[in-house]
Amino acid sequence: MQYIHNGSEKNESIIVDALYYSSQQLEWIGENPSEFSRLLDAFTRIVKTLARINATEIELPKVYQFFRPSVDVIQELIGLGLTPNASAALTNSTLTPNFFMESFNYV
């Protein structure tokens, strides 16, 4: 990604960059409304799951909690080639704060 504002000109504006990239995002949303809806739904489910965490007794959410109850996560993982034991272990594993920090590094 190349930014318009790179600090080389004294008349550059970070606000202009923000408006430019916001309009690009809105253009993508307009061209891909169903994909945006799907991504927003997934993000909402993650936020909802994280919001249910009891702050006084931290019990980290298990991976299967990030999916709709109608999804058989173990069978989906088996379909991807994992063994039944590995699928069950992964489904019942928890996401630690370190996972989110490491994930952020790849974004």
Decide if 44 is inside a domain. Answer: yes
Q: To the nearest whole number, what is the mean pLDDT of the chain?
A: 82
Find the DSSP H helices in the chain: 14-31, 33-51, 73-79, 84-91, 97-105
Number of domains composing the chain: 1
pLDDT per residue as tens digits for the range 16-67 = 878 888 999 999 999 999 999 999 998 998 888 778 877 677 777 888 888 8
Decide if 25 is inside a domain. Answer: no
What is the span of the domain harbouring residue 83? 32-105
The pTM for the full model equals 0.43
